[in-house]
Amino acid sequence: MAPPRRLGVVASCIVAGAIFSAAASQVRNPLPESLTSDLLGPEDEAALSEAAEPVGPFEWVAITIGRNDTLDALFRGMQLRLTDLAALRTLPDVRRSLDMIRPGDVIQLTHLDGEIKSLTRRINETTTLSVTRTEGGFNSNIVENPLEIEERKLAGTVTTSLYLAVNEAGGTDRLAVSLADVFKYDIDFVNSVQPGDSFVVAYQQQWQDGEFVRDGEILAAEFVNSGRSYRAVRYVGPNGRADYYTPDGRPVRKAFLRYPVDYARISSGYSLARRHPILNRVRAHRGIDFAAPAGTPIKAAGAGRVVSREWNGGYGNAVVLAHAGGVTTLYGHMSRFAGGLSVGDRVAQGQVIGYVGATGLATAPHVHYEYRVNGVHQNPARVTVPKADPIPASLMADFKAQTAPLLARLDAAPADQSIRVALN
Ligand SMILES: [Zn+2]
């Protein structure tokens, strides 16, 4: 007989509100009998009280699916009844959600000498499959546990960085990233944010069973950069698509990103006379170099089409994109290209087209970024990008109705901080 496999079995139980958990290498992991009456959650108990079988003492196990695991092998390894597994698979809903297992998934079950008494499996964040044994066989239920949304407002002043300012105000790193993302077309958060800059942000948080899950959407925000105020508000159009607009209805999004990489430092600007670090002679630098760690994703600055994607002399691995209005952009020195892209393919703004490297004539990892109009180099930091169309007159009433209360939250006193609403 083969030696027992080490299964990823974790047993845990909730006793008087406290959560105990113990990792075990054993295939079977019986819990002390004194705990078994407290093993099951309220729903399990309710479900089991309907069952004909006497309650407990059952063994409770949580199986964490490993690579190459199959349910059959797991059941066999734990000496659970394969006839039960076969019976479970005949139930509607169950077969699909049981057999579509991925590494890391957890299946919890109770059994008595290998006979399955109940089984639960989280299908997704808000849905759990729950199966219990009844007199007539297995009974399955899909249990919904929706997220709740709480609206919050935070305000702060930058002393060193936006991250710290958001953290000090009680926000997460993710909120800081989202906030920078909203204003990235207008504000350079790496190179031009200064002490004294300030922000106010009204946003959503997702909660479940009284636990914070994650930050949700930013609803409205203001950032004051060097005394100049920028405001953005989220609007969901009739097509269901959400985007950020200025309070008067202009899209915050522009046709081109400021940078093709997030949070990069400018290591060399656009210049018509620069001493080249490798060639050691004065040469125009008709692009901007953004230093970033090797492997950092490089994003298409605007929507367009791939014109070339190849080794390009001193540029190393380079991608050239063509955009509307005769604009082309070039991204050089890539360590590698993004997979699945070929010449002629369309790319969306922000789509990853390659990764930062130091191929070609480069001393350190960076992306060399060029912007040309009808073949003529322009300074990407100076080009005036055509403004996107504002909200059409026909939608303006809807826009105002939807955004006015969100913008009002920015000006409201900090006291009315949280409103909890159910998420549909
Ligand atoms: Zn360069």
Note the pTM of the prediction, 2 decimals: 0.68
- Token representation of residue 373: 């109009």
In a domain, 260, yes or no: no
Shared domain for 32 and 138, answered yes or no, is yes
Shared domain for 120 and 200, answered yes or no, is no
Q: Indicate the number of domains in the chain.
A: 3
In a domain, 310, yes or no: yes
In a domain, 386, yes or no: no
Estimate to the nearest angstrom the gap between the alpha carbon of 79 and the chain centroid: 39
Specify the CATH number for the domain of residue 55. 3.10.450.350
Least confident of 9-18, 92-101, 131-140, 157-166: 9-18
Question: Which residues lie below 8 Å from residue 297, measured CB to CB, with a gap of 6+?
Answer: 261, 262, 338, 352, 354, 355, 356
Ligand 1 centroid distance, CA of 271 (Å): 10
Distance separating alpha carbons of residues 315 and 5, to the nearest angstrom? 52
Ligand 1 centroid distance, CA of 307 (Å): 20
What is residue 125's three-state secondary structure? coil
Ligand 1 centroid distance, CA of 183 (Å): 26
Q: Please compute the mean of the pLDDT values over residues 288-302 and round it to a whole number.
A: 94
Confidence grade of residue 110 (pLDDT, cut at 50, 70, 90):
very high
What is residue 260's three-state secondary structure? coil
Distance separating alpha carbons of residues 123 and 93, to the nearest angstrom? 11
Ligand 1 centroid distance, CA of 377 (Å): 13
Q: Please compute the mean of the pLDDT values over residues 15-40 and round it to a whole number.
A: 32
Ligand 1 centroid distance, CA of 269 (Å): 8
Q: What average pLDDT does the structure give for the chain? A: 82
Ligand 1 centroid distance, CA of 367 (Å): 7
Tell me the percentage of the chain whose pLDDT exceeds 90.
55
pLDDT value of residue 4: 37
Distance separating alpha carbons of residues 289 and 333, to the nearest angstrom? 10
pLDDT value of residue 41: 44
In a domain, 259, yes or no: no
Ligand 1 centroid distance, CA of 182 (Å): 28
Instruction: Examine the fold and report which residue of 92, 122, 144 is the final residue of a domain before the chain moves on.
Output: 144
Q: Which domain holds residue 70?
A: 9-144
Ligand 1 centroid distance, CA of 364 (Å): 11
Shared domain for 129 and 14, answered yes or no, is yes
- Token representation of residue 337: 């290209």
Per-residue model confidence as pLDDT tens digits over 128-176: 999 999 988 899 988 999 999 999 999 999 998 899 999 999 999 999 9
Distance separating alpha carbons of residues 289 and 65, to the nearest angstrom? 45
Confidence grade of residue 251 (pLDDT, cut at 50, 70, 90):
very high
In a domain, 225, yes or no: yes
Which residue blocks in 152-245 are alpha helix, DSSP H?
162-168, 173-182
Ligand 1 centroid distance, CA of 370 (Å): 8
Shared domain for 174 and 250, answered yes or no, is yes
pLDDT value of residue 283: 73
In a domain, 110, yes or no: yes
Question: Torsions phi, psi of 233, nearest 5?
Answer: -135, 145
Least confident of 12-26, 69-83, 137-151: 12-26
Shared domain for 32 and 137, answered yes or no, is yes
Ligand 1 centroid distance, CA of 361 (Å): 9
Instruction: Examine the fold and report which residue of 110, 144, 178 is the final residue of a domain before the chain moves on.
Output: 144
Shared domain for 285 and 220, answered yes or no, is no
pLDDT value of residue 144: 92
Pick from 189, 192, 195, 259: nearest CA to 221: 189
Estimate to the nearest angstrom the gap between the alpha carbon of 139 and the chain centroid: 35
Shared domain for 360 and 403, answered yes or no, is no
Confidence grade of residue 92 (pLDDT, cut at 50, 70, 90):
confident
Ligand 1 centroid distance, CA of 302 (Å): 19
Between 45 and 232, the more confident residue is 232
Ligand 1 centroid distance, CA of 368 (Å): 4
In a domain, 3, yes or no: no
Ligand 1 centroid distance, CA of 366 (Å): 8
pLDDT value of residue 5: 36
Shared domain for 203 and 222, answered yes or no, is yes
Shared domain for 351 and 270, answered yes or no, is yes
* pLDDT at position 76 over 60: yes
Shared domain for 17 and 134, answered yes or no, is yes
Q: Please compute the mean of the pLDDT values over residues 316-338 and round it to a whole number.
A: 96
In a domain, 344, yes or no: yes
Ligand 1 centroid distance, CA of 324 (Å): 24
Sign, Cα dihedral of 159, 165, 168, 169: positive
Between 215 and 277, the more confident residue is 215
Ligand 1 centroid distance, CA of 267 (Å): 9
Distance separating alpha carbons of residues 290 and 269, to the nearest angstrom? 9
Shared domain for 161 and 244, answered yes or no, is yes
Instruction: Examine the fold and report which residue of 89, 116, 144 is the final residue of a domain before the chain moves on.
Output: 144
Ligand 1 centroid distance, CA of 177 (Å): 27
